[in-house]
Amino acid sequence: MYLLRVTLRHDLGVEVDPHFQQTRMQMLAALNPARNNLDQLLSAERAQAAQPD
C-alpha cells in the first residue's frame, strides 16, 4: 500500500524525490522474494488440500 501511495504521489507531481525511481526499484526487488515465498506456500497448501485423505 505504501508503494502505491508513493507512486501516485510521484505521478501527480507531489513527490519530487530525485531518487524516486531507484528507491521504487529497490522496494520492488525487496518484495519479489516475499511474493515468491507466498506463492510457494500457497501452492503447497493447494497441493496438500487436493490430496485425498
Res 53: pLDDT = 67
Cα 16 from Cα 31, distance rounded (Å): 23
Q: Within 13 A of 39's CA, how many CA atoms are on the CB side?
A: 6
User: Higher confidence at residue 22 or residue 18?
Assistant: 22
For the chain, helix, strand, coil in percent to 5 are 75, 0, 25
Mean pLDDT of 28-47: 92
Residue with the three cell numbers 518484495: 31
